[in-house]
Amino acid sequence: MKTLKRLSLVCFVIMFCIPAGWGQGFVTPLSSLSGDAQLTTVNMETINGKITAALIGMKGLVSLTIKDHNGNKHRMKAAQIQNLRTKIDGLAKLEMLNEKTKNLERLFEADFSEITDRKYAYYEQVKVPGKDRYVLTQLLNPGFNKKIRVYDKPGAKTGETSVNGIAVSGGSAKAYYVKKGGKTYEITRLKYRKGQFKELFGDCPGMIRFYRVPEFAMFAEHVLYYQMNCR
């Protein structure tokens, strides 16, 4: 009986502490790039320097110019870049600096310092699901990306909200690219409740029971829960 009471109390605390707006927990995709950066080309060459120009279109990052520490300029198309790390300012942080976040940190032991105190944005080559092409796009869940990596889908409105001066991923997001176990998915608002939630998290029965009615707006919470509670 005592064990049952303790379990009930834990469930109550978890449900109380998880914020209803957690679906806005991904970082917002940057609309421009500049400043200090490090990139690795598809030929595994590493370049450190400053981004002096970048072209971002409807399909994401198109090209950029980086000036290395020797003063040499490297003009590169997105297809030539395997991954990119660039410094960001406070407007690209998460809206996670409240008491509920502290409660979540204690419950899940997530590396929230990587999110709330982060200095960098990360871009990686992602294969477009169902197509023979790749896109260099931004990782949206640094700090809780060990099992599932969530990326911006350019043109899907994954970031358009600012709360108290802090940019967060907008609640009107329509889709994300997702990597799990070597496979890439396109997770969409329309298909999430109809089957994609179970497709992505079906190997964790406890999670399926906990989230009986999965809402797309809580996708970030689902990704965090899966990392901290599922094998």
Write out pLDDT tens, residues 179-200. 999 899 999 999 999 999 999 9
pLDDT score at 83: 97
> In the chain, what are the domain boundaries?
21-28+82-229
Least trusted range by pLDDT, from 41-45, 103-107, 212-216: 103-107
How does strand 120-127 pair with strand 81-87? antiparallel
pLDDT score at 67: 97
Write out pLDDT tens, residues 140-158. 998 889 999 999 998 775 5
Write out pLDDT tens, residues 64-90. 999 999 999 999 999 999 999 998 754
Predicted confidence band of residue 118 (pLDDT cuts 50, 70, 90): low
Contact criterion met (CB below 8 Å) for 16 and 106: no
How does strand 175-180 pair with strand 149-152? antiparallel
What is the pLDDT averaged over residues 103-115? Answer: 48
Instruction: Write the single-letter amino acid at 2.
Output: K
pLDDT score at 9: 33
Predicted confidence band of residue 207 (pLDDT cuts 50, 70, 90): very high
Write out pLDDT tens, residues 16-33. 334 333 333 787 788 788
| Statement: residue 117 has pLDDT above 80 | no
CA–CA gap between residue 60 and residue 153 (Å, rounded): 8
Please tell me which residue, 163 or 55, carries the higher pLDDT value: 55
To the nearest whole number, what is the mean pLDDT of the chain? 77
Nearest residue to 222 via CA among 4, 23, 19: 23
pLDDT score at 129: 93
